[in-house]
Every structure is written in structure tokens, then in C-alpha cells.
Structure 1
Amino acid sequence: MTGTTDDAARPAPDRPWAHDAVGPRTKGLRLDGPATVADVLAGSPRVTDGAFSWPLLTLDDATLDHNVGVVARVCAERGVEHAPHVKTTMSRALFARQAAAGAWGATVATPAQLRTVRDWGVPRVLLANELLDPREIASLREDLARADAAGRADEVWLCVDSPHGVELLARGLAAAPAAVRARLGVLVELGVPGGRTGVRSTAAALDLARAVHAAGLRLLGVTGYEGSVAGGTSADELAAVAAWCDGLRDLGAAFVREGLAGVDEPLVLSAGGSSFLDVVLAELPGPVAGADGREVEVRVVVRSGAYVTHDHGFYSRTDPWSRIPGAEPLQGAATVWGQVLSVPEPGLAVCGIGRRDVSFDIDLPVALWLRSQSDDGWLPARELAGTRVTALNDQHLYLALDADEAGASQVTGPATAQVRPGDVVGFGISHPCTTFDRWRVAAVVRGDEVVDLATIDL
């Protein structure tokens, strides 16, 4: 709720998202007609002003700066490049912070996200999946051709995990000039049995790398998602992630020994890194040996994305930053505010947020703040302890008051006596990806002052 940053960080009206359209149908805003982000920000508004309504998603400005800064510093100190996965927020304003902090590029999950991010003007994008639609391959080819014609140094990297995918890619780029083909980088994806995408064995990965090389495509190296290896951070699970990272390095070294990658440019090794970045940083960097014993440089590119807002649930439990020497723990930046609609019985408050407003796929939200009304307006938010979210409907949240939870003793008087209809409760989230997909705008705040509106694309 608190924190300040330099006023120069406030987005200027000519920043691109300042011209994004909002209006009466934009959740969280109370507008009479079409407007722009710049219109809403005029006059230094506050979240309690008439332009805003409940429910409302807010992002703490200082916390965003802290999280982005910590990740950028740790990656830079260890010589690791960062292409944050923007599927978490799909917000141009938030990626601008990451880019300003030194991000190499952006990672996306789908062709639609690729087109969106390229439309933002991002010059380097990593598509963390295989491209299998010939129409999308043609669209990408045309995009890269336009960049080449304009003299821009743009490039797009993508994954392959099947011979069919390699064949489609080679066919779609067959007529493209060599300069255009050189702008496309290919990473063979290594998966794990029962996991998500990616070939299931090093032998299959080598065969696929040979096919990429034979097709005349630019093979950069190998990629994968270590989150499929473990669901927690016990010693055994961290050891399993480390073994997976070692296997990724070994596979990349095999590419180098066969002359498939790492010949004219460094070998690329890419991993996710949101929950296990400590292991990734410890295991992946460092040169690999070529067939002739020479050392080949390795480029490690991590794709951590959820860190930008962190959370008060899943990522706070698996936070690798608490395990990285010299790093600082990340902080939850996102709060979803919902008005208390009813206190129908002792020990229960029903709030006006639900499954259409906040994530629930991993954990239910956690109540953090209480804001009450007085005759003179809204009072400052204060911490709310001794409560527990028990259920969500589409538009309703059930908040148990005076819950027998750790911290209940910090409440001055019973929570039931504090929470009244019309009050507003601020909730922390678990898993930011599935909160952001429920919003099209988030208010970036310093205290109650709204310093930016981060628009969110699909």
C-alpha cells in the first residue's frame, strides 16, 4: 500500500498505452463515454475518485519497480539474459518496465500473443511453443520480411518438438530470402514424460536437431520448462530440477559436438525460471566443450514472467529469490478490491468479487486490507487480520471473520465488528496469470494516487 518512486517514472501522456481506449464497459472504471488512459490520468486521480469503481485491480508502483529491479540485477550479475514471459500480464505498460530494466526480449505462448507483442513494437520475441498453422508461419515470414526491408534488427525465436513442425516451418520459409530466414531462430524443446510439450528423449531431440539443420533453418540450441519436473521445493524436488538442467546442458553440448549449433554463434539454453531460477542459474551457465575440445560460449535465456507482480500464494511459497545468495525476496504487487455487499450473520461477510475477477485455480484469495467509509469519505486502508476466504461464486466471495488463523490476535476487536456493508476489502492473489486474464485495465498506484493505467490485451 505504500512506497514511492521518482516522479520521472510516471508515464508521460505520449507513451503508447496512454492513447489506449477505455470507456463505460471497462471493468474497474466508471466513465460516461469513450476516453483514453491519458484522459483518466489527467488531474492525478485517486482510487476513491469518481472515475474508479469496485471491483478494482491495483498494482503497487514501488513493488513493481522492486520486483523488476531484483530480477534484472540478478540476471545481469550472473551473465544471464532475460526474455520475460508476458503471457502473465499481456500489458504493454508492464513490459515497458521490464524492457527498460534490460530485458533481451519478450516471451509469448501463442501466435496471437506474438502478433500482439510485435504490434507493441517489441523487436525480439521468443514463442515458447511450436508453430503448426501454415497461415501463422506465412504471417511470421511476412512480418520478418517487413522488418528486414525497414533495416531493423528484429528476430523471432520459436520451439520445435516434432518432425512435422520442422517440415511445416521449412516449407513455409522455403521461398524467403536468406536474410529473412536468418531472423528466425529455432530451439529444440526437451520435455519430460507426463509433462507438457517437448520431445521425451535426448535421442529424439538429436534427431529433431538434425532435421532442423538439414532444412537449412537457424538452430540456436535447446529449451524446456523445468516446472514440469517438480511441484514443490523440497531438497529432492530441487535435485530433480538440477538433474533436468544438467540434461539440458548435455543435450546442447551434443548439438555442438555434431556441428548442429554453437558454430557461428553461442549455443542457446533456455528455461522458465519462475519457481526454480536459483537452480537454473546454478546449473545452466558456463561454456560447453565442442568436438575438438574447444570451449563454446553458452547464452542462457530465462523466461520468468510471474515475478513482475509476484503474488500472495503459489509464487510466494516457491519464491526462488529467497534461495539466491545476494537476492532480495520478491513482493506481491497486485490487489483486487471488492466491496462488502452483506454481513448477513456473525462471522461472515460477502464481498462483490468472484471467479470473474480473481484467480482461484491454485489458491483462494487472501484478505489483506480493509477500507471503511465515513461521513467525510473513504478512510485510509488498514491491515485486516483474522479472516479467511472460504469460497467463491461467479460474483461473490465468502469471507469468514474472526477466523481462528495465525495473526487473528493482531485484530483490534473482533473482525465482525470492523467489517460493515459498503466497506472495501483488498485481496491478495495466488497465480497472477489467471487474475490478469479477467481484467482489461489495472490501476498502478502509489498509496491511493493512480499514477498509471496498465491496459491488458487478450
Structure 2
Amino acid sequence: MQFLSRWDSQRLSTTTRGIPLVDGLSAADIGSQRWSPARGDLALPALTLDETAFAANRDLFLAWCASASVAVAPHAKTPMSPELARSLRAAGAWGTTVANIQQVAVLLADGERRLLLANEIGGLASGRRLGALLSTYPDVEFHAFADSPAAVAALVEAARIAGRNELSVLVELGAGRAGARDRAAVEATIAAVLASDRLVLGGVATYEGAAATADTDETMRAIAALMARTIETFALVRAAAPGRPLIISAGGSAYFDIVTRALAPVAQADGNATVLLRSGALFFADHGIYARAFAELDRRGGLVIDGARHSAADGFRPALTLWAEVLSRPEAGLAIAGFGMRDASFDQGLPVPLRTFRDGVAQQGLAETLSVTRLNDQHAFLSVGPDSPLAVGDIIAFGISHPCTCLDRWRVILALDADGIVTRALPTQFG
């Protein structure tokens, strides 16, 4: 059952952004080309991944998880790169989180065998689609969310078609997004799972990010209330499934310290439960929303790993860079760069100029005088000083805000080594 066409890993398309016009280039030959975006070797705009920063973020967070006695199933919706998902699991992640059936199909086809579908799937038609998919992968360990009897019914249909008798269901609590809103909804969902001979209770889940507001104190109160409801629901699920290993899952990219502080003692006291975070974007970090989140985390006390305190803001390093060329200097104080809304996230802040290059040589102090003021589809408007030396053909490296809504604009991410040289191509599989 095919849901998505897969990127041709043998030959690179010359129409793919970031890939120079090289006839017949094999994906395996990428690293040998020694391309440098700073020199203008790439077809700009291009999105690159700093492999050293990504690995450092991975190691830091997995070390924190181990110290805090929690597990993580990184959310694959951020990069939708099976290769990166596989690398995180190989480094010690519990498994992989996905957001919909299409993403399940991509990860299963790539060999992942422990998936958490952190979402309701829809109605009976979606249940039939999921069931047909799972029927071809009988060895996969699979968990899904439900927040109502209707959501449970869809999973019953999936289990029936897949020929499964113990499909794991996590009861989802919610605030601001999906998830049961009160005890009556929780009890009805639990009862619907227990009434089926094809499902089992697998635990509870929530997403604290949907409870966040612009007010920090209000956000803390809202998350605390949601954690209290999650703990109450876990007690109900445990009473209904006294002998099963259970999962207590939360989102955790911006507030992983808070949810762990609330939920880890519950799992420890239970003795047969695992706190499972779904953090995904923090492995990429950024120069915007997550930079601010890490600064807030430091104000809450930072990262404590094996008793030692570390700065989250210093420890997590932005791994994504957007590269673009100056196309025009049409008037004083304005430059037009060759990227736009089709290339970069803008929902949580505009890209930030980091470095500028001319003929491959870094221009010291110039990026600090630039700012992106607005975007068109494929044009970025930059404010520049009246006497700025920025010129047509200069290349600018930009930091982004919100990896989730930047990566999904790209079919291929180009990985860079510590010297800024392209080492490989990472295809994405967004539906």
C-alpha cells in the first residue's frame, strides 16, 4: 500500500533547490564534491544542517533524559527525514513519533518498528487505511491516541483489518487542541477501549504546548493544571489495566523539564510505567522560538545532568542555516535576497542574518547591520544601513525560527561538516 512517492536516492534532480546543475550526479557522490555554500557552490537558496551541532544537541538531550529517567520518541514530523529518525533511535531514542497515517507509512517503509502516533486518526475510513497499512507490518510495535469513543471506534476498525488483538491506545488529555477535556470524556474513552476485544490500554498522553500563552505565569498555571489532570487520568487507566506496562507521554520540546518534574515521580512510584517525551524540534534548535524557550528554561534552573547544572541556551546549538544571495540593491537602505515564504518559516519570527560572504570570504561585522523586515513568496526584504557595502552577489547565512515550519519547505537538506563543507544529502518525505 503506497502512500507517498519516495525521493530518488540514486540520482539527484537538477530541479531540487540547493543542488547545482550537475548532470547525472549520484547521491553517493555528494560528499566528494566539496561544495561550500559560502563560496556560492550551491544553487541558492539552500537549507543546510550542521551535523556537529545536531549531534551535540542529540547527545545533550539524551544524556539529560537518561539522568532524569525518562525516554524520548523524537517527533519525526519536524524533519520527516527517515535517515535522521534512524540516527536518533540508534543513539538511544525509545522509538519515533509521527503525526498521521502518511508519516506512519514513510517510517515503516524505512524500517522503523516502534512508532507512537501522537494524534487521533479520524473516522472509520481512516481506521481502514491505517489497518491496511499495519497489516503489511505485523512486527511493528504501535501506539495511538484516542480522546473519545469515536476515536476508539476508528482504532478498533484499524485493528480488525490489521488482524491485531492488542493495539495499544493512549488516552489523550487536552487543553487548547485535541484531547479529552474532563473526567467524563476520559471515562467514556477508557470504557470504549475496554469494551473492544482488539484494543488494550497503553497509557495516557497530553501536549502541554497547546496550553501555553504569551504570559509566562499563566502558562505555568495552565501546564500545572494539565499535569494534574494527566496524573488523575493515569490513575484511572492504571486501575483499568492493573498489570500492563504503561506509557505517560507529553510533548516536551519547550517544557520538557516541567512535564518531567511532574510525571517522573508518578512513573517511579508506579514501578511499571515509562515517561515518554516526544521532543523533536530541540534537536535542531534555532535562532528564535527555541532560543527563547532555552533561555526560559535556564531561568527555571537549567539542565541538571547527573547532579551538574548546565545552561540550555549555551548547550543547544542552532543546526539549521538558510543560505541566500543578494539579488538587488534597488534603493538606499534596501536589499533584496533570493528567498521568501516558500523557503523559510515566518510564523514564529523572521530569519536572522548571521554571516555574509563575498567570493567565499567572510565579511566581518556586516550581518549585524542587516535585518529582514518582510517576505514575499521568493523575495526577502532586508533593511541595510545607508552606507552599507552589501552588494549584489553577496551570500548571506540566515538563522531561522521554528524548525517544524521551515524544514517542510525542502525536499533535500544538505548536511555540512565543521568546516562548512557539504557531506551528504538528506531527503525529506513530507506528504
TM-score (norm 2): 0.88
Q: 2:274 aligns with which of 299, 308, 312?
A: 299
The equivalent of 1:422 in structure 2 is 393
The equivalent of 2:253 in structure 1 is 274
Distance 1:211 1:435 in 2: 39
What residue identity is the alignment partner of 1:439? Answer: W
The alpha carbon displacement at 1:233 in A equals: 6.9
Matched, 1:392 2:375: yes
Q: 1:207 aligns with which of 176, 188, 191?
A: 188
Indicate the RMSD between aligned Cα atoms, in angstroms: 2.4
The equivalent of 2:168 in structure 1 is 185
Distance 1:295 1:128 in 2: 23
What residue identity is the alignment partner of 1:451? Answer: T
1:313, 1:429 within 8 Å by CA — same for their partners in 2?
yes
Distance 1:158 1:68 in 2: 25
2:231, 2:266 within 8 Å by CA — same for their partners in 1?
no
Distance 1:340 1:51 in 2: 15
The equivalent of 1:197 in structure 2 is 178
The equivalent of 1:90 in structure 2 is 80
Distance 1:424 1:31 in 2: 19
The equivalent of 1:3 in structure 2 is none
The alpha carbon displacement at 1:327 in A equals: 4.0
Matched, 1:226 2:197: no
Matched, 1:54 2:25: no
Q: Which deviates the most, 121-130 or 227-236?
A: 227-236
Secondary structure class of the residue paired with 2:264: coil
2:148, 2:186 within 8 Å by CA — same for their partners in 1?
no
The equivalent of 1:36 in structure 2 is 26
What residue identity is the alignment partner of 1:250? Answer: E
The equivalent of 2:156 in structure 1 is 170
Measured against aligned partners, the alpha-carbon deviations of 1:427-456 in whole angstroms (never above 9, x if no partner) come to 111111111111111111122211221111
Unaligned residue ranges in structure 1 (runs of 5+): 1-15, 403-413
In structure 2, the CA distance between the partners of 1:234 and 1:48, relative to structure 1 (3 Å rule), is closer
What is the aligned-residue identity percentage? 36
In structure 2, the CA distance between the partners of 1:321 and 1:103, relative to structure 1 (3 Å rule), is farther
1:191, 1:198 within 8 Å by CA — same for their partners in 2?
yes
Distance 1:382 1:450 in 2: 23
In structure 2, the CA distance between the partners of 1:448 and 1:176, relative to structure 1 (3 Å rule), is closer
What residue identity is the alignment partner of 2:253? Answer: S
What residue identity is the alignment partner of 2:261? Answer: A
Q: Which deviates the most, 64-73 or 125-134?
A: 125-134
Secondary structure class of the residue paired with 2:53: helix
The alpha carbon displacement at 1:232 in A equals: 4.5
Matched, 1:101 2:91: yes
In structure 2, the CA distance between the partners of 1:26 and 1:176, relative to structure 1 (3 Å rule), is closer
2:353, 2:397 within 8 Å by CA — same for their partners in 1?
yes
What residue identity is the alignment partner of 1:350? Answer: I
Matched, 1:343 2:325: no
In structure 2, the CA distance between the partners of 1:174 and 1:56, relative to structure 1 (3 Å rule), is closer
2:40, 2:395 within 8 Å by CA — same for their partners in 1?
no
Secondary structure class of the residue paired with 1:417: coil
The alpha carbon displacement at 1:332 in A equals: 1.1
The equivalent of 1:71 in structure 2 is 61
Distance 1:76 1:228 in 2: 26
The alpha carbon displacement at 1:137 in A equals: 3.0
Relative contact order, CA 8 A, sep 6+: which one is greater?
2
Distance 2:40 2:384 in 1: 29
Distance 2:332 2:395 in 1: 18
Measured against aligned partners, the alpha-carbon deviations of 1:381-418 in whole angstroms (never above 9, x if no partner) come to 6552122211111111111123xxxxxxxxxxx8x433
The alpha carbon displacement at 1:321 in A equals: 5.0
The equivalent of 1:405 in structure 2 is none
In structure 2, the CA distance between the partners of 1:78 and 1:232, relative to structure 1 (3 Å rule), is farther
In structure 2, the CA distance between the partners of 1:268 and 1:397, relative to structure 1 (3 Å rule), is same
The alpha carbon displacement at 1:369 in A equals: 0.8
Matched, 1:317 2:288: no
Secondary structure class of the residue paired with 1:22: coil
Secondary structure class of the residue paired with 2:37: coil
Q: Which deviates the most, 312-321 or 338-347?
A: 312-321
Secondary structure class of the residue paired with 2:383: strand
In structure 2, the CA distance between the partners of 1:44 and 1:135, relative to structure 1 (3 Å rule), is farther
What residue identity is the alignment partner of 1:202? Answer: R
In structure 2, the CA distance between the partners of 1:46 and 1:37, relative to structure 1 (3 Å rule), is same
The equivalent of 1:433 in structure 2 is 404
Q: Which deviates the most, 272-281 or 45-54?
A: 45-54
1:70, 1:327 within 8 Å by CA — same for their partners in 2?
no
The alpha carbon displacement at 1:267 in A equals: 2.5
The alpha carbon displacement at 1:52 in A equals: 1.9
Distance 1:52 1:59 in 2: 14
Q: 2:225 aligns with which of 243, 252, 256?
A: 243
The equivalent of 1:450 in structure 2 is 422
1:31, 1:51 within 8 Å by CA — same for their partners in 2?
no
Secondary structure class of the residue paired with 1:285: helix
How is 1:119-158 mapped onto 2 (pairs within 5 angstroms)? 119-148=109-138, 152=139, 154-158=140-144
2:371, 2:383 within 8 Å by CA — same for their partners in 1?
yes
2:358, 2:395 within 8 Å by CA — same for their partners in 1?
yes
The equivalent of 1:7 in structure 2 is none
